[in-house]
Amino acid sequence: MVHPRFVFFAFLALSVLLAVMNEDSILSSNKGDSLCCNDHPEFGICTNKSCNKWCLQGCTRGGFCKRKICHCYC
């Protein structure tokens, strides 16, 4: 027979594991949202074509060079 204390700790460990996995998936799904409506100086040398292509990875409208900085549309 399985000891009740073992079942409790196994359930607790599974709950923590599922919570961490859910948090990771939430964070990764929001990465694209941070691209939109923002300037991205980390992009580097900005050309409208390359900036637009990069922004399309997370924003449906793409992006453009704004004062030599890649800016993704909202």
Express each pLDDT in 13-43 by its tens digit.
666 555 555 444 433 334 445 889 999 999 8
Q: What is the DSSP letter of 62?
A: -
Judge whether residue 54 has pLDDT over 60.
yes
Among positive and negative, which fits the CA dihedral 3, 5, 7, 10?
negative
Q: What are phi and psi of 40, to 5 degrees?
A: -135, 80
- Rounded to two decimals, what is the model's pTM? 0.54
3-class SS at 70?
Answer: strand
- Say if CB 64 and CB 48 are below 8 A apart: yes
Q: What is the DSSP letter of 48?
A: H
Tokens for 24? 């990771």
